[in-house]
Amino acid sequence: MILRPAPIDGMVVVELEKHGDDRGFFARMFCVEEFEAVGAPTQFVQGNVSRTAQAGTVRGMHYQLPPSSEDKYVRCTHGALFDVGVDLREGSPTFGQWWGVELSAENGLGLLLPKGVAHGFQTLADDTEASYLVSSAYAPTLERGLRHDDPALGIEWPRPVSVVSDKDASWPDFTPDAAIDLDASPVLEER
């Protein structure tokens, strides 16, 4: 694997080092020692998969508050998607900034997103499947989100947005007071 830092502090692009022959290839997609060497998360408690029928669909931008903040490791196993992180961490040098990268079954790239970074993606092909590992289980009372089209964020999606859920379209506007203190006490209020 080749682990490259992304422009958002703490985000890491994972590139497979493929060893191939006439059968295809073999590559490692996770290694505790290599992840630890770059400060990437190594403890995952849940694996998720999503399949999206229509290209242009946006899922996200999702995150969870402490103590259920999530590190995520995202890969695209079928089709292609544009994966985006928005830094919401209080005191981070990249707070309020977004960055995205194309993940596809063909390019084999993965993206690690640290706790306090909102995550979402846009599908670039029909029937796209994303697979991701998370470091905390889903906690509905601590789930939050950002709108994909919030002008304060200015995310530049590569395609016109064709589908977004009602829930994802209804998240509040981003403001600087949305900073997440990862050491804060739990927030137990319902959205």
Q: Which residues contact 40 (CB under 8 A, 6 or more apart)?
A: 3, 12, 71, 112
73 is catalytic: no
Q: Do you know the residue count of the chain?
A: 191
End-to-end CA distance of the chain: 39
- The residue annotated as part of the active site, out of 63, 73, 119, 132, is 132
- The residue annotated as part of the active site, out of 62, 63, 119, 148, is 62
Indicate the DSSP class of residue 185. P
63 is catalytic: no
Indicate the DSSP class of residue 38. T
- Please return the burial class of 163, using the count of CB atoms within 10 Å of its CB with bins 0-12, 13-18 and 19+: middle
Contact 181, 66 (CB under 8 A): yes
Query: Residues 144, 94, 33, 67: is their CA dihedral positive or negative?
Result: negative
Distance of CA 6 to the CA centre of its chain: 12
Helix (H, G, I), strand (E, B) or coil at 34: helix
Contact 44, 73 (CB under 8 A): yes
- Catalytic residue positions? 62, 132
